[in-house]
Amino acid sequence: MKKTPLLLTLILTTTAFASFSDVSNDHPYLEAINYAQENNIVNGYKDWTFQPENKITREEFTKIIIRSNFSDSEIYWGSCFPDVNWWDFEKYICTAKRNGIIGWFKDWSFRPMDNISFLEAAKIIIIGLGKQEEVWDNEWMMKYWLYLHDKNAIPTSVIDNEQQINRWEMVEIIWRLKSGIDIEEKNEVLKNTWYTVSDTYVYFENHIMEWADVYTFELLIGDKWYIMWENNTYYYGDKYSYSRDKNNVYYYWVKINWADSETFEVFEYYAKDKNNVYSAGKLLEWADVETFEKFWSSYAKDKNYIYITGKWFDWLKQVYIEWADMETLEIVWWNSWYLKDKNNCYYDYEVIEWSDPESFTVLYYNYTKDKNNVYYYWKLVEWADSSSFEYIKSSYWKDKDNAFYQGKKISWVDLLTFEISEKDYSYSRDKDNCYNDWFIFSLSYCDEFFE
């Protein structure tokens, strides 16, 4: 009787379960290697190493499958290949041949010392795990590739069917086939996000994330203002704009080139790994990773510059304030986009020309002033008197001589009779004229707004 095909045991040296000295805790395939060791699929070498990059020969791999699935009485003693004639492997190779697990080359040889290819190993693993009834019933070798592909069991490092596999790739395939994935549980975690998973793929709405690994895919917590634009649709993510698996990092459904999955972290408007800093999924040029940190709101800084990004109206801009003095830079007012240093004042990344940092103060509705001038956003408000500049209503301000609307002077206004419509704040009047914003009309034009 054949044994129930439970495990493929690679016996190199018998050891008790212990971590391998050459497999670190942050190894990308640690879970698969631990699974294989815990279940006696593989054991370590005498020096307690796993040697994950080592290739496996055809005779070694055949011995693994036969020892794991056949009793001693079922082992066939005989001669079956002209290039296999030593007792330690011959009986296992011949047993595998009799049971249709292995084949031969055109010259009737087995080539036992050749390293095994991915497709050869795929066939042996599938048969060894008792999965052959789930594979298409035909003679086409690619059916084994298709089966592993449908089960998402092909390591991302395998890019060619003839590629020689190593030890960690072998256990990765076995782990994926043996452990499986609970699709319902995974989708429950992803509920109320744009993401879903199947046995084979991760999806962002109707986008297949073709690089994503279903088994290790996870969402990263982000912050607001992350936007992706496609086909006249905004994807606005207040949490789950970034995701990763053991190999890659993604912004929405797009793989971020150069991102290091292991060290990638998201903090509000920015993200970084050991090599780079990112904003909206794009590389933030000029940034120094070691000193990069959040400064305030969507501002961040490093030893050289201060950066601003992520605002709704310029979400793809990744700019730095070139002239900022990092030692004296400070926020002027906590709920604004204004900063200053010993030399300049700034709105976002724009320098407010002619501003005086020492006397600079924030007013309301994007107005600021210093001892000399008044500013709207970063632009000078011409004709405005700083000492007498004061708020009227809505977007209207005045000084001792003039009225202003959204940073522009309303020409010819008479301040003594000037009033603003309660029906529509964009309309105002004095004894001589009607005004819409800062445009002048005849006085009668305003009648309906002051009834």
Q: Is the pLDDT of residue 440 over 80?
A: yes
Instruction: Specify if 236 maps to a domain.
Output: yes
CA distance 144 to 151: 11
* Predicted local distance difference test score (pLDDT) of residue 18: 46
* Predicted local distance difference test score (pLDDT) of residue 435: 96
Query: Are 186 and 170 part of one and the same domain?
Result: no
Q: Tell me the chain's radius of gyration from C-alpha atoms.
A: 35
- pLDDT above 70 coverage of the chain, percent: 84
Asked if 450 and 421 count as a contact pair (C-beta separation under 8 A), the reply is yes
* Predicted local distance difference test score (pLDDT) of residue 432: 95
* Predicted local distance difference test score (pLDDT) of residue 227: 44
Query: Are 119 and 256 part of one and the same domain?
Result: no
Segment 31-46, tens digit of pLDDT = 888 887 887 667 678 8
* Predicted local distance difference test score (pLDDT) of residue 177: 80
* Predicted local distance difference test score (pLDDT) of residue 16: 39
- Between residues 94 and 40, the one the model is more confident about: 94
- Between residues 255 and 62, the one the model is more confident about: 255
Whether the model pTM is above 0.75: no
Q: Which amino acid is at 34?
A: N
Query: Are 118 and 188 part of one and the same domain?
Result: no
- Between residues 328 and 135, the one the model is more confident about: 328
| Total number of domains in the chain | 3
- Between residues 160 and 181, the one the model is more confident about: 160
- Residue 121 to residues 112, 230, 434: CA-CA distances in angstroms? 13, 42, 86
Segment 115-126, tens digit of pLDDT = 999 988 888 878
Segment 188-232, tens digit of pLDDT = 888 888 889 887 789 988 889 988 888 888 888 765 444 444 444
Domain that holds residue 437: 387-449
Q: Which residue among 283, 308, 325 closes a domain?
A: 283
Instruction: Specify if 313 maps to a domain.
Output: no
Instruction: Specify if 268 maps to a domain.
Output: yes
Distance of CA 295 to the CA centre of its chain: 22
Query: Are 194 and 150 part of one and the same domain?
Result: no
Q: Which amino acid is at 111?
A: R
Instruction: Specify if 259 maps to a domain.
Output: yes
